[in-house]
Structure formats: C-alpha cells, structure tokens
Structure 1
Amino acid sequence: MIDSHCHLDLLAQKKDLRFALESAKAAGITRIMAPSINPESWQALQGLSEQYSGLFPIDTALGLHPYFLTAGSFDKPHSSPEENAQSVEERLRQLEDATTNLHPSVKAVGETGIDGHITVPLALQQHVLYTHLKLADKVSLPVILHHRKSHHLLVEALKQTKYQGIGVVHAFSGSVEAAKGYIERGFYLGIGGTITYERAQKTRNTLEFLLEHHFDKLLLETDAPDMPMCGRQGEPNEPGYLTDVVNAMSERFTVSTQEIVSTTSANYLRLFNITS
C-alpha cells in the first residue's frame, strides 16, 4: 500500500514518528508521499526522507498550503497585511529557488489549492495557487491540490493558467461530475478516511462510479495526522491506518483488497513518474 498524502512533519509533533512508521511498514505500507505546507516544512520532510530511508521510500513535495498564508502563520505573528504580502512573495521566491536544485525526494509541487472555509483572502489563495501551477508546468512535476468548497475555482485556475501537467486532487469528496472534470484533465483523485463513515453516502456513490469506470485514476491516502478514520476519532491519524480505507472499499464494493492495493500503487508510481 502507498499512502499518497501524509504530513509526516506534523505527525511527528503528535506521535513517536519512528514507531508510527515501523507500524506502517508492519501494516503493509511500502511508500509515502509527504506534501509540505511551507519552506520550513519541506526542509524538515527532506530530512525525514533521508532519516527513514531504511524503512521505505518517502517522497516529498514543495508547496505553500492555503491555511498558512496569512499574518501569524509564518514567522511574524503580528505582521501587517503589507508585511504579510511580502512574506508570501518571499516564500514563493524560495519555492522557485528550491525547484532549481531539487532534492532527490521531491516528486511533486504542493500542497496548494483553495479552501472556501478559511479566512485567508480568496485573491491571495488564487495568486499562490496560480504560481504553483505555473511552476509545476515549468519543472514538469505533478501538482497536489487541496480543496474545500472550491472545485469550480480549482478548475478555473487550471484553465486560467493553461496548466498542461497532471496531478492529484487530495481527499476528494465531490460529485461524479466534479470527478469527471478532473479526470478529463488527467488528474488523479485521492481517496481517504471519509469513506469509512456511513454518513459519507455522496462520496461513496462517487467512489462506486470511479471504481467501475476510472479505477486507474484513484490513489489511497490518510492525510495523517488529520482526517481520523471512523472508530479512531480523537486520536492522530497515521499511515498504518490506511488499511481502514482499503477494507472499507473492499467491504462496500465488489473488489478485493489485493486489487485495490495493486491498482492504486501502480497508479501512484505512474502519476509521480517513479520507475524504481
């Protein structure tokens, strides 16, 4: 199994990371994608990819998460809007610099995107997303997209930037039509803990369609330490719990756990252009 979205640096703040990774390996995890949220994050993740290379490969991505784009999210907790704008631009410059000399673990640009639930100004989120998309095209890396109440805005961004690459919409929980829109553009969809909940009927209905028609576009993910699985509420999520997603898919639909694991793993390697 491959966890296509796991914030290892944030998990390390909540659990013993070595124990969590050893547990993940015992559960059948063979690889992890660790997207970043800011420059400090991507530096930490690259270090973790080296530190734990003996367990399994840890891929990383370079990005600025929309949650962390306003004053107080970086190193100036009381900065003015003008200072914060300068801070964001400086981090975007750092992002571009980091792609000129890629660490071996870097396989994508992200996590970036648009979130309709937060107070970060939409214009700022769009500016940062557009910059990520243009950079991903420039360096020929897939992009990892975050969404909440923003599918139409993400599609608009892909059109406005004339994005030519591919990527993954992580923690996908949209409609069949939204899924088709991304897939037509070459995107993959990350399936996580949402489907372990009985209340997630819309997402399950979409997943049923995707398993029948677009199984080759699905990835598995935990989004650890967030998005706890059903029955594990109140505790940090971790990559070893990915088996909960696989089992939920297998029990709900007529597909074996072996097929889920082998297909989604092949999808991951294809998306991120990994041959070894």
Structure 2
Amino acid sequence: MYINLHTHHPSESMHVKEIINMHASLYPESTNLNQFHSIGIHPWDIKDDHSIHVLEKWAQHPKVLAIGECGLDKSKGPDLTIQQEVFIQHIKLSEKLKLPIIIHCVKAYSEIIKLRKDLRPKQAWIFHGFNASRETMEQALRQGFYFSLGKALLKSNSKASQSLLFIPHNRLFLETDDDPQLSIISIYEKASELLKLETPQLKKVIQDNFKRLFNVN
C-alpha cells in the first residue's frame, strides 16, 4: 500500500491510501465520506468567519484524520497577522480534537517553528510539500515536526531532495499535493532512489508512520 499524505486529486486506486484535502467551505457537499480527509482553511482562502464554524463542525467526522491544510504564506493571501490568527484557530481545534495538522508554509518556516516552540502543542505538526534547507529541517525537527515531501524530489538540485537524506525515517511522509498528473508511485520511486532503499522498505516505513500518527491500519 502506498500512503499519499496530502492530495487534492483522489487516485481511486486500491493500492493507494490517501488523505484528501478539503476546504472547510466545500465539506461535505462535494465529498466522498468513505475516504480519508483533512479539512481546513488554506491561507489564500481566508475571507470570513463562516468557514471556521463549518470547519469546527465537520472536523469531527470520523473520516477526517487531520486539520489543514492551513498555515502561513508570505507570497499570497491576506496580511500575515490575519493568517496567523486563523492558523491559531486551527491549532486550538487540533488540540481539542486530538488531530494532527497538515501545514502549508511559504517563506514562513521560522514563524511557524517559533509558534510551535511558544505554544507547545501536543498534536503532531506536518510540513506538507516540504522544500527547504537541511538547516531549516533540523530546526523544525528539534521542535518535533514531521515532513511530507512531493514533487520537488523529482528535481535533483532541489532543497527537498537534499534535505530528504537527513530526515529521520520516523518523521517522513510522501505526497502528490495538487498535481493531477503526478503519481504517488513516482514519488516513492524517486525517494527510494535518493535514500538507497528498496521501495517495499520505504512503503513499510511510511505505513508505520501513518499508523502511528493517525491510528489507522
């Protein structure tokens, strides 16, 4: 079984177990409730308080495994202060429901790492689409973060492909994110090549991480 931690495009493959991202305002009308989901408000989509109330309601559905994606983005979206206020609401809900958070982060790693250090949450925080330096990864690792890597691994000179070699296996996930043409199998094959692991070994590592973090077989 391949685990795809974060996708916007369900594969419908019997060989893939995935967490499908849903925006709070769209849940559950356009959602297959038999699949696993994360639910949150992307920082680009912050508009009003209505989505927060919907988020609180549907995050309690048994097929919702994580809060998010949510986070901070310095390149797009409302003022960072507003983004942080909404992100903190997600953090509080994560703690209340005892669900991990899947985090969108663009040019704001230091701010999010500091938030975790200051707030000391009990639930896991996962940087999705991680593509930052080994130094940033190690700073985040010291605060207990997990890392999900995707398309950037296919670029040999990417920060993700270099950082991957130093991420502890028990903190690692893989994903396809929002690319409908990207196969999770290709991400596993590339990660296996970079890590010098057989693909079945890597699948076992990530299956174990998934089971431990989300309590799902």
Q: 2:133 aligns to what?
A: 175
| Residue 146 (structure 2) pairs with residue 188 (structure 1) | yes
Find 1:258's aligned residue among 188, 191, 200.
200
Q: Counterpart amino acid of 2:52?
A: L
Q: 1:270 aligns to what?
A: 212
Note the alpha carbon deviations across 1:98-140, whole angstroms, 9 max, x for none. Answer: 34xx222011111100011104211111110011001111111
Matches of 2:148 and 2:70, distance apart in 1 = 14
In the TM superposition, residue 207 of structure 1 has moved relative to its aligned partner by: 0.7
Q: 2:19 aligns to what?
A: 33
- Farther off after superposition, 215-224 or 251-260: 251-260
Matches of 1:208 and 1:141, distance apart in 2 = 28
CA contact (8 A) 1:170 1:189 kept: yes
Q: Counterpart amino acid of 1:93?
A: H
CA contact (8 A) 2:24 2:54 kept: no
Q: 1:4 aligns to what?
A: 5
Which has a greater percent of strand?
2
| Residue 32 (structure 2) pairs with residue 48 (structure 1) | yes
In the TM superposition, residue 97 of structure 1 has moved relative to its aligned partner by: 3.2
Q: 1:89 aligns to what?
A: 49
Q: 1:271 to 1:181 in 2, by over 3 A?
A: farther
- CA radius of gyration, larger in: 1
Relative to the length of structure 1, the TM-score reads: 0.72
Matches of 1:251 and 1:138, distance apart in 2 = 39
Find 2:156's aligned residue among 188, 193, 198.
198
Matches of 2:114 and 2:67, distance apart in 1 = 19
Find 1:237's aligned residue among 181, 186, 189.
181
Q: Counterpart amino acid of 2:4?
A: D
Find 1:142's aligned residue among 84, 89, 100.
100
* Structure 2 unmatched runs, 5+: none
Tell me the SS of whatever aligns to 1:165.
coil
Which has a greater percent of helix?
1
Q: 1:220 aligns to what?
A: 174
User: Share of identical aligned residues, percent?
Assistant: 26
Matches of 1:182 and 1:196, distance apart in 2 = 23
Q: Counterpart amino acid of 1:49?
A: L
What is the alpha-carbon root mean square deviation over aligned residues? 1.9
CA contact (8 A) 1:193 1:244 kept: no
CA contact (8 A) 2:128 2:147 kept: yes
Q: 1:60 to 1:217 in 2, by over 3 A?
A: same
Tell me the SS of whatever aligns to 1:49.
coil
Matches of 1:192 and 1:34, distance apart in 2 = 15
Q: Counterpart amino acid of 2:33?
A: S
Q: Counterpart amino acid of 1:32?
A: E
CA contact (8 A) 2:7 2:175 kept: yes
In the TM superposition, residue 160 of structure 1 has moved relative to its aligned partner by: 4.2
Q: 1:63 aligns to what?
A: 40
Note the alpha carbon deviations across 1:15-55, whole angstroms, 9 max, x for none. Answer: xx6xx42xx33xx32x1101222321x3146x3133xxxxx
* Structure 1 unmatched runs, 5+: 9-16, 51-57, 71-87, 227-235
In the TM superposition, residue 256 of structure 1 has moved relative to its aligned partner by: 0.9
CA contact (8 A) 2:70 2:102 kept: yes
Q: Which 4+ runs in 1 deviate beyond 3 A?
A: 159-162
Q: 1:188 to 1:44 in 2, by over 3 A?
A: farther
